[in-house]
Structures are given as C-alpha cells and as structure tokens.
Structure 1
Amino acid sequence: MDDLVPDKSAAEMKDSAAQAPGAVLVFDGKGGVKRMAPGEGAVPFPKGFMLVCGNSKAPEFKVWLKQELGPFNTDTLTVPSTQSRCTMLDDKAILVLRIARPGAKTDDIGRQLVGIWIEKGRVIVASELNIPELLGFGHWEQSHHAPVSPADLVARLSLRASDRIEPLLEHLGDSIDAIEEELMLEQNGDSRAKLAHLRRTLIGFRKLLWPQRDVLNTLEIEDLSFFSARDRARLREASARTARLGDELQALSERAVLIHEQIMDSRAEQMNKSMLVLAAVTVVFTPLTVLSGVFGMNFPIPGADNPHAFWAVVVFLVAVAGLSIWWMRARKWL
C-alpha cells in the first residue's frame, strides 16, 4: 500500500528543503528563480513553488526522501525502471521519465532515469542527471523566464528531453539516406546488416518516446487542484512535441521496412537471374549430352572409319547448341 504523505505548509516545505542534500531552486511564480543555499532560512514564495533536485544514487538523498515521502514512494522515484509512467496519489503525482544521457549517440543513447514528485508548492526530482543544467537554470536567472508552476517545469523538462532526441533522429534519417544511396548505386555490400542494426535502434527509440507522450497525456487529464488551464496547455504542448518526434520515428521505421523489401527484391532478382542462366546452360547442354552419350556407346557407329566424321559431329553439336540459344531468345527467355 502507498505511504501516506501528509500535506505540508509552505514554511514546513522550506524548512525541509533547507536540509535536503541536493540543489534547491525557489521559483516566485512570475518567471524569477533563485538557488537556496544549504541551511538557508525562509525564502518568500507566496505564489511560487520549490524544486528539490538530488542524485538518486546518493544515500543521503535517499534518507531525506524516505523522511519526506516514505519508503514506498522513495523506491518508486529511485528504483531503475524500464518504462516511463505516471502514478496519481490523491492531489499528488509521481512521474518516471527516461531521458537520453548527455552526448548520447544513436548506437548507445544511455537512457537516464528521472523520478519526479509533484505536489502543490513543491517538485522533487531524483536523478543522476544534473537537472538545473539540463533545464538551463543559468539562463533563467538572467532572462527572468523561469517556469511559473510545477506543471510548467515538467513540460519544460520534457521539452529538454525532446531536444536531446531530435538530433539523434536526424542522424538516423541520414543513415537511412546513406543506405538508400548504396542501393541506388548497387553497392549493397553490408547494407542488410546496417539496416538490421538501424531497425533495432529505431525500436529502442520507440520505447523511449511513446511512453513519455502517454505520461504527459495522463498528467494533463488528471484532476490536480493546483493545475491551471495554462498548465494543461503547456503539458499538451510538450506532449504534442513528443508525438511529433514519434511520428518522425514512425516514418523512419516505415522507410526502413521499404528499404528492407527493396533489398529482398534485389536479392530475389539476382537469384532469378542466376537460376535463369543455370536453366539456359541446362537446356543448351542437355541435347549435346544425349548425342555425346549415343556416340560414346560401345558398338560400331556409322562413319567411324571416316576421318572427317568427328568434325562433322562437332559441327552438328554446335549447330544444335546455337539453335537452342536462338529458340530461347526468340521466346525472350534470355
């Protein structure tokens, strides 16, 4: 059964955050943000909220999470998961997202787990990623364009995750273009192996993108009291961005299927040509084999004493072979 997490006042949240072993950001709800120093006292945010970020592998942060959320919810946030998901707890929500690590490549995107706890006035993020850096905290301080609500923060986190995926999808598209060019130039080589590896990569990206879209859609439609119409619009925008990347991924998958069919058709055509040549050789040499077998029988053959008989037989066999080839060309078999 889920742990019961008591509702806390803003002052209690601030006092608890001051003891958190991680980065603490305070948002004023109007686009401003500041970092709370360790041990800092009360910070006014009457209409804002607080973000607490910590390393999901750090024992100190796990201890703090258990004190704040309980063991069950802490495990939900920090235990590695293979799927993104959204879990509702009264007027709170737990999100688990999988984000590509910094500097990821298409061959190894290195998915990183991000656990998010959302409640009125506070967001807790447990991840090995540097969340303030991922979200662009330094830019927010200068531009005064920070998130104004917890839902806005989640939407921007999802958009940053999409920003990491988009160049990887472009690289996959370039790889498909290269394979198509090889096929056009009839330089098949290892195109089939490259395509198989590419299709496995596309499946991995699909497992990363589509669940994230479902998480955002679920969070948008849930009846959380502190979500405004603007919050739901921001979540819808982030979900649409993820869905667009998913559509691009689907288009790449369909192109990969078409290329695979083209490779198989090319291989089948090559096989048919080879079989046609073998069949033509068989048709040409079958009558020659019969005639040579007849003349090779162990009994007297007419013309055996004629010195020109051998060349006459050779000319006859050549004529039969030529006639067979002409007949097959006339029927457009060759």
Structure 2
Amino acid sequence: MDDTPREPPTRAMQNGMIGVGAVLIFDGKGGVVRIEPTAETPRIPPRGFKLVCGNSKAPEFKVWLKEELGVFNADLLTVPSTRSRCTVIEDRAMVVMRVARPGAEPDDMGRQLLTLWIEKGRVIIASELNILDFLGLTKWEASHHAPVSPADLVARLGLRAADRLEPLVERLGDRLDEIEESLIIQNTSRAQGKLSHLRRTLISFRRIVWPQRDVLNTLEIEDLSHFSPRDRMRLREASARSARLGDELQALSERAVLVHEQIIDARAEQMNHTMMVLAAVTVVFMPLTLLTGALGMNVSGIPFSDNPHAFWVVCAALFGMSLGIIWWMRRRRWL
C-alpha cells in the first residue's frame, strides 16, 4: 500500500473546503477580490467588508475560528443544528440556514447547514457546502455586481437557498396534480399511498422554509448598528421570497387535505353503493326464503305436494315475485 501523503484537490483548496478557508474582500461598490488565507489582508475599503468561508469540519478552520472568535462562539458556528435560527450577541449576529444539496430530489433533499457570523466589516461562513460556487463568485467578478454589505450577502444567500427549493416545490405540485388525475379514473387505492407520502414531504419542506423566513425577519428588525435602511430592505425582499414559497407549500398542503377528503368521500360512496346492493339482495331474497322455507316443512298438508308440475309453478311464482320486488324498489328510488 502506498503511504505517500496525497495533495488535496486544487479545486477544493481554492473553494475553501480544505485548510483555513477562502478570503474575499468586497469593496462595497459591487467589486470583489480574492486573496490567499495566509497572505496579509489588504486594507478594507470604508464601505466594504471581508468574507471568510471554510469547511465547518476542517480541523485547520476550527482552530482559526477559536483563535478569532473564542471557543464558545467557534463552537456555535461548527456544532450541527437541527433548525434555522438567528442569534444576536451585542452588535453581532449568528445565523443558521438550511440549504438543499445540488441536484436534490423532493424525497431526499440532503439538507446542508450554512452558519454565518456577522459583524461590522466581516462575515464568517462555516459550512460543508461549497460557498463560492453556491454564491456564484465567478459571475460577481465578471459582472462587478457583488454584495455591497454583509446584510446584502445574507439576503443573497437566502435567495439562493430559495432558488434551490423552488423547483422542488414545483415538482411537489406536479405530483399532487397526478394524484388528482388518478382520482378521476377512480384509482383511490394507489392515490392514497402517494398522497400520504406527499403530505409527509410537504411537512419536511415547511420545516425548512418557515424558519428561514423567520431568520431573515429577525435579522431585519434587530438593532444592529452596521445595517443600513437599504440592508434591511434587501433582507425584507429575501424574507418575502421565502414567505412566497411558504405560502405555496401551505396552498399545496390545503389542496392535499381536499384531495384526502375526496378519497374518503369516494371510498364512502363506494361503500354505500356496496351496502345498498347487499340490502337490495336481502330485501329480494328474504320473502322468497320465507316462502320456500314454509313449503319445505316436513309436515302433511303442503299445497300441491302431489302435483308433478308444482315445482316449476312455484319457481315461476318466486321469479315473478322477485321481479315485482325489484320494480317496487326502483319505483321507490331505492335502486
């Protein structure tokens, strides 16, 4: 076995997934410059800020976080969380967001955590997600349209997260349409299983979207001195985007409830029809059974017992009686 240590992939090192992380300098006017983590940090423009992003599980990045923020705050950034949240500590904020993995399916989104430390002039992101590709750094460098403030960066992260969820929500809507079509052709047994699975998926999606909306709302209303009115407007726009997704999920959930009621009504109608047929059969055969039971008694005096044609006469009478009962039930609109 070859024990020679291997060099980490160049792409992973460039994206900050291995080692201390990636460092970006934003000039506050739409420009962005990338520098090496080990290089001396250039002077940050008055309106600009610095972004440091790295892998939350990389040992080197964890050590750097503890040196920069302290053990307690570093643990807040790297310890996995189950829900999105926003925590304000003096004039700084820690934001936890959940993002769907690239190419995820509605049944298995493979959610990733995105933890941000926001303070005046600096943002730190700890995540296993490839942040630079997620944000589209190459496009920013080419278009000179990078975030102009930390709040603008957070808002764009929220919009990117919503962008990944939107096609998945559309697929859920398509699945619900298919279930409704299957109900039209009376395939209720198959639709019931699909609907149950869809409703569980909708619950899982709402656990992502609604807390994320609350995170952006909380960050907007918090009294952070380095947030401008424009920053709060950008956060409000990102929150509104998440709210729209949440409203769409709520609408799908309500449609799913209506479809479930349709399935129950269809099954109840089918059961009522079955019970009506059984009741009609009972009503038809009950007098016939009474008559044949009376004629079948083993006692003397049974009418027509000596007539060789009596059996066929009785059968014809029973048949005519059954037709008469059916006609009477139809006239009463019981059938």
TM-score, normalised to structure 1, is 0.93
Shift of 1:293: 0.7
- Distance (Å, rounded) in 1 between the aligned partners of 2:333 and 2:298: 40
Shift of 1:189: 4.3
Corresponding residue for 2:44?
Answer: 45
CA shift digits 1:112-162 (9 cap, x unpaired): 111100000100000000111101100000100000000000000000000
Query: Structure 2 counterpart of 1:132, which letter?
Result: L
Segment of structure 1 superposing worse, 309-318 or 181-190? 181-190
CA shift digits 1:4-40 (9 cap, x unpaired): xxxxxxxxxxxxx9xx701111101110001111322
Query: Structure 1 counterpart of 2:26, which letter?
Result: F
Shift of 1:62: 1.1
Query: Structure 2 counterpart of 1:32, which letter?
Result: G
Query: Structure 1 counterpart of 2:326, which letter?
Result: I
- Distance (Å, rounded) in 2 between the aligned partners of 1:157 and 1:59: 25
CA shift digits 1:56-93 (9 cap, x unpaired): 11111111111111222222212111111110100000
- Distance (Å, rounded) in 2 between the aligned partners of 1:63 and 1:130: 20
Instruction: Say what the alpha-carbon RMSD is for the aligned residues.
Output: 1.2
Query: Structure 1 counterpart of 2:275, which letter?
Result: M
Corresponding residue for 2:174?
Answer: 174
Query: Helix, strand or coil for the counterpart of 2:94?
Result: strand
Corresponding residue for 1:329?
Answer: 330
CA shift digits 1:311-333 (9 cap, x unpaired): 11111111111111011101111
Segment of structure 1 superposing worse, 119-128 or 66-75? 66-75
Corresponding residue for 1:308?
Answer: 309
TM-score, normalised to structure 2, is 0.92
Corresponding residue for 1:105?
Answer: 105
- Distance (Å, rounded) in 2 between the aligned partners of 1:302 and 1:292: 12
**Same amino acid, percent of matched pairs:** 69
Corresponding residue for 2:7?
Answer: none
- Distance (Å, rounded) in 1 between the aligned partners of 2:152 and 2:91: 17
Segment of structure 1 superposing worse, 295-304 or 34-43? 34-43
1:29 lines up with 2:28 in the alignment: yes
Query: Helix, strand or coil for the counterpart of 2:273?
Result: helix
Corresponding residue for 2:56?
Answer: 56
Q: How does 1:1-334 map to 2 (within 5 A)?
A: 21-47=20-46, 48-300=48-300, 301-334=302-335
CA shift digits 1:255-291 (9 cap, x unpaired): 1111110011001111111001100000000011111
CA 1:41/1:313 → structure 2, altered by over 3 Å: closer, same or farther? Answer: same
Query: Helix, strand or coil for the counterpart of 1:141?
Result: helix
Corresponding residue for 2:10?
Answer: none
- Distance (Å, rounded) in 2 between the aligned partners of 1:57 and 1:103: 22
- Counting matched residue pairs gives 316
Corresponding residue for 1:5?
Answer: none
Shift of 1:42: 3.2
- Checking the alignment, whether the CA contact within 8 Å between 2:29 and 2:148 is kept in structure 1 is yes
Query: Helix, strand or coil for the counterpart of 2:268?
Result: helix
- Distance (Å, rounded) in 2 between the aligned partners of 1:37 and 1:59: 18
- Distance (Å, rounded) in 1 between the aligned partners of 2:24 and 2:252: 39
Corresponding residue for 1:4?
Answer: none
Query: Helix, strand or coil for the counterpart of 1:190?
Result: helix
Unaligned runs of 5+ in 2: 1-15
- Distance (Å, rounded) in 1 between the aligned partners of 2:62 and 2:184: 56
CA shift digits 1:168-210 (9 cap, x unpaired): 0110011111111111122334110000000000000000000
Query: Helix, strand or coil for the counterpart of 2:86?
Result: strand
